[in-house]
């Protein structure tokens, strides 16, 4: 879930509909390169929003893995893709309203809600062959967030 840049009401309509990452969001996204097992990464999934693509950009640059776009309303389709890649490591950049149903679709039993203003959560799911999954909530980008030259 990415922190979008605040956009003025009189800004271009395309910019209002698809705002980029905020500066803090850009710094936090760099932290994914420290907090993910990049050598094990097999796939990257992003929505077609600028902030989703920007969140994964540093990981894409380092790994060379071309991100796959997925429609945020097609959680079932993404779950099916991820299940077909059982045993692999994937990065999915989602949104506060798409991550909870994705986690449930992957077999996570506990209910997860994400506040619209919460950023930097990394939800690590380990799907099992019996259809269940374990969930670990981590944080990403905190070491880089602390180094903000703008402060």
The answer to whether residue 8 is domain-embedded is no
- DSSP state for residue 49 in the 8-state scheme: S
Q: Is there a domain that residue 2 lies in?
A: no
Q: What is the pTM of this model?
A: 0.84
Considering the chain, what is the average pLDDT of its residues? 86
Please say if the pLDDT value at position 149 is more than 60. Answer: no
Residue 121's closest CA among 29, 52, 18, 33?
A: 29
| Non-local CB neighbours of 100 within 8 Å, separated by 6+ positions | 111, 112, 113, 114
Identify whether the C-beta of residue 126 lies closer than 8 Å to the C-beta of residue 86: no
**33: CATH:** 3.40.50.1240
Flag whether 116 is in a domain: yes
Q: Residue 35: its pLDDT value, please? A: 84
What is the number of domains present in the chain?
A: 1
pLDDT in tens, 81-116: 999 988 899 999 999 999 999 999 999 999 999 988
The verdict on residue 151 lying in a domain is: no
Alpha carbon distances (Å) from 89 to 4, 77, 86, 92: 26, 17, 8, 10
Report if residue 1 sits inside a domain. no
Q: Are 143 and 31 contacting, i.e. CB atoms less than 8 angstroms apart?
A: yes
- Mean pLDDT check: name the lowest of 15-24, 49-58, 61-70, 121-130: 15-24
**129 domain-assigned:** yes
Q: Is 16 helix (H, G, I), strand (E, B) or coil?
A: helix
Q: State which residues form the domain around 26.
A: 13-145
Q: How confident is the model at residue 150 (pLDDT cuts 50, 70, 90)?
A: low
Rounded distance between C-alpha atoms, residue 119 and residue 122, angstroms: 9
pLDDT in tens, 2-35: 555 555 555 566 555 787 888 888 888 998 998 8
């Amino acid at each position: 879930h990415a922190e979008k840049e605040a956009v003025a009401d009189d800004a271009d309509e395309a910019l209002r509909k698809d705002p980029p990452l905020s500066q803090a969001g850009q710094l936090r996204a760099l932290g994914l390169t420290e907090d993910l097992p990049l050598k094990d990464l097999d796939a990257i999934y992003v929505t077609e929003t600028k902030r989703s693509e920007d969140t994964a950009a540093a990981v894409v640059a380092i790994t060379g893995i071309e991100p796959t776009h997925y429609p945020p309303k097609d959680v079932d389709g993404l779950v099916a893709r991820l299940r077909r890649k059982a045993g692999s490591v994937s990065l999915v950049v989602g949104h506060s309203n798409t991550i909870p149903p994705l986690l449930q679709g992957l077999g996570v039993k506990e209910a997860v809600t994400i506040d619209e203003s919460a950023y930097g959560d990394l939800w690590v799911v380990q799907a099992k062959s019996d259809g269940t999954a374990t969930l670990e909530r981590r944080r990403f980008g905190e070491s880089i967030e602390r180094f903000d030259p703008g402060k």
